[in-house]
Structure 1
Amino acid sequence: MGELVRRGADAATLVMTTLDGVPVGHARLMFKVGAHLVADMRSNFKYSDHDQVAGVEREEFDDACQRLRKAGYRLREQESAWDQFSSMRSKYASGLNETTKYLGVPPAPWIGDRSYLPHRERGPSGRRVPTPR
């Protein structure tokens, strides 16, 4: 679920901030639903919201823009697109990172916290031994 939300929210954020001359209604809806889900997860799991970072390096954003341009999309001015993209992504990135860590989902591209999640220990039966919280 976290991966689906992350990819959908990132794609929506790119559409709204970076592409020029495309409809943004569906992207706006996906962004709002995804950000709301992350806020609900943050509230449910009691995450703090002090760490509001975009979690994507400028170079990664520039690479994505280059791929979009190569695919034939018209792009907005890249500096202002980056400012808008990083501002919007910071609204959901840290909460989504916390959720994926809690659920044990491995980090994926375009996620800010790429810290290693060690495999959980397995008991004699081959089942996971619960991680203390």
Structure 2
Amino acid sequence: MAECTQGVEVRRMWSELEMVRSFGGCMIPGTPDGMFEDWDGALTCVQVVRVPLVAGLSPECMQEVLAQTILTKVVKSQQWLRVCQATPCDFVIFCWLPFEIPDDVGESAEVLMQRVRELDPRFSLRLRVPAQAGALFP
């Protein structure tokens, strides 16, 4: 969340627990990991995911894994958006990567997100590698 709120004057933050929705005793998938509102009233949801890439994968396989991870999170997030009362201006799919990826893999993910945004402009993508190697991927 800190990465997404950097440079934003946050008025209020919601935890994942506050945003969980259920229907018929079942939890609705796609609950964001966090949501915040800035002082202009703009809501931003953040869905954090660790991308399951492993060393030695070809760039084509990396593209496939990253694309499936992103699309899965978008679809689940849309399910949550259908049942909640929040109307975010931005729904960030925040992908933690275990290591630096080739430029063409990152570019392909950005192109995919552009296609998603044509259908649902609320979504955006952030790809990051932790500052300390192995911090998120022990």
Normalized per residue, the structure richer in helix is 1
Q: TM-score under structure 1 normalisation?
A: 0.32
Q: TM-score under structure 2 normalisation?
A: 0.31
Larger Rg: 1
Higher relative contact order (CA 8 A, sep 6+): 1
